[in-house]
Amino acid sequence: MPDYYDDVRKKAVEIAIYESTKDTREVKVRNRGERIDEYLRCANMLHSWTPDDKVGGSWCGAFLYYCFYHAAKELAKSLPFTPDNIISGQRLHEWVRNNPDKKVEAVPFQPGDLYIKENYHVGMVVQTANDYGSILTVDGNQEGVSKSKNSVQINLRSYKQMKLLVRI
């Protein structure tokens, strides 16, 4: 049986990797910046239009929604979740409870799978290592205000850090 969302996941990974090449930084206050505001706006999480105002929440889920939204739009498909379902690890966990078929139970993981860390950070699988002990991920909200690194980063993470893996 064909996987309806396989192309969406692959395109979302492409978009996320491309976003990791842009200069995405928190400017002046936490969780705000030109690129970050785009992610927040896409996920309906930007409640203030003044750049100096605080948004009040982390944006790792907004980044993921941005990637999946634009992937689905380009491929003329709808997503099985709303921005509200993916904006945080806690919300994504709740969504999986209501959609248990979306939980990834065993390896191999696929590019575009989402993961939740113990602290409810959410990110996206880019590629698994050959031994399945480590996973290459792309994550938003990785640096704070005035840091020198891009806030969207590709990371090598241990599978043990992951509380839950999700596949749309």
Distance of CA 38 to the CA centre of its chain: 14
* pTM of this structure: 0.91
pLDDT: is 139 or 50 the higher one? 139
What whole-number distance in Å separates Cα of residue 126 and Cα of residue 41? 24
pLDDT at position 52: 60
Contact 125, 165 (CB under 8 A): yes
The CATH fold of domain 6-166: endopeptidase fold (from Nostoc punctiforme) (3.90.1720)
Mean pLDDT along residues 24-48? 84
Contact 159, 131 (CB under 8 A): no
Mean pLDDT along residues 70-76? 97
pLDDT for 74-92, tens place per residue?
Answer: 999 999 999 989 888 889 9
Q: Which amino acid is at 52?
A: D
What whole-number distance in Å separates Cα of residue 26 and Cα of residue 97? 32
Return the domain boundaries, the chain. 6-166
Give bridge partners of residue 166 from the DSSP assignment: 103, 114
Q: Is the pLDDT of residue 155 over 70?
A: yes
